[in-house]
Amino acid sequence: MRIVLLGAPGAGKGTQCKRIVARYDLLHLSSGDILRQQRTEGTDLGKKAQSYMDSGALVPDEIVVAMMTDAIRKAPDAGFVLDGFPRTVNQAAELDKSLASYHQGIDVVLNLNVDDQVVAERITGRRSCPQCGAVYHIRNMKPKVDEICDNDGTKLIQRPDDSPEVVANRLETYRRQTEAVVDYYKSNRTVYDIDANKNADEVSTLMFEKLEALAKA
């Protein structure tokens, strides 16, 4: 299965992708996680991406498309879930072109719909593990010990781009550049709109119902 998960910042894409890959044994490819990893390693790509990410703008298409199509080419036959990519209509078209060159395509798109005030509450309460990438929330998905990762005992951090000013820019960028990707896919793929204002288990149930129905069709 080749799945794209769309949604505003903080909609829960990363949280739900982890559940999808655990259930279907797919590869999780998050453009944000890969870019953050490049930054941590101090690569040229990471240095180029830094100022865009810190301000809440999109990293230029040519950088992200090359990075993601390369990662997708190495995905196992079972498939993958894309998280945070594509984020512009141009990225979506380039992705289609790249997959078509080896006779593949996106099977289904899940679009997580969430209200702006829910986004603000989720992002300001998010805490992440800098070691393993696990994501928590100070109220909704608490670690067993406050501020400490359940998996490896590392102290949790707040992402630098989760400040209120940068979140406002990320939301604005989403409205201006990424919402059109939903229409792009609605014109040529199966797209399921999911109410992502619900709690994480309810959102997973809604998604899995759609994916199971598709697998049986």
Taken as a whole, the chain contains a residue count of: 217
Q: How far is CA 23 from CA 17, 105, 174, in A?
A: 10, 21, 28
Give the one residue of 4, 58, 92, 207 binding ligand AP5; rule: CB under 6 A. 58
Comparing CA positions, the residue from 25, 20, 52 lying closest to residue 36 is 52
The kind and range of the H/E element at 157 are: none
Q: Which range, of 38-46, 131-139, 149-157, 185-193, touches ligand AP5 by CB under 6 A?
A: 131-139
Q: Report the residue closest to ligand AP5, judged by CB.
A: 32
Question: Is 216 part of the annotated catalytic residue set?
Answer: no
Structure tokens at 132: 């393993």
Question: Is 47 part of the annotated catalytic residue set?
Answer: no
Question: Is 23 part of the annotated catalytic residue set?
Answer: no
Question: Is 2 part of the annotated catalytic residue set?
Answer: no
Structure tokens at 2: 């080749």
Q: Which is nearer to ligand AP5, 11 or 108 (CB)?
A: 11
Q: Are 90 and 68 in contact (CB under 8 A)?
A: no
Give the one residue of 27, 93, 141, 148 binding ligand AP5; rule: CB under 6 A. 141
Q: Is 156 near ligand AP5 (CB under 6 A)?
A: no
Catalytic residue among 36, 87, 122, 127: 87
Place of tokens 């040519």: 62
Q: How far is CA 159 from CA 45, 128, 164, in A?
A: 19, 7, 12
Give the one residue of 1, 75, 120, 135 binding ligand AP5; rule: CB under 6 A. 135
Q: Is 52 near ligand AP5 (CB under 6 A)?
A: yes
Q: How far is CA 86 from CA 143, 155, 158, 197, 212, in A?
A: 31, 31, 25, 22, 24
Give the one residue of 59, 72, 95, 106 binding ligand AP5; rule: CB under 6 A. 59
Give the one residue of 6, 126, 134, 181 binding ligand AP5; rule: CB under 6 A. 126
Q: Is 85 near ligand AP5 (CB under 6 A)?
A: yes
132-153 burial by CB neighbour count: b if 16+ within 10 A, else e?
A: ebbebbeeebebeeeebbeeee
Question: Is 122 part of the annotated catalytic residue set?
Answer: no
Q: Is 203 near ligand AP5 (CB under 6 A)?
A: yes
Catalytic residue among 2, 36, 126, 127: 126
> Which residues are tagged catalytic?
13, 87, 126, 159, 170
Residues that bind ligand AP5 (CB under 6 A): 7, 9-15, 31-32, 35, 52-53, 56-59, 64, 84-87, 91, 122, 125-126, 135-137, 140-141, 161, 170, 199-200, 203
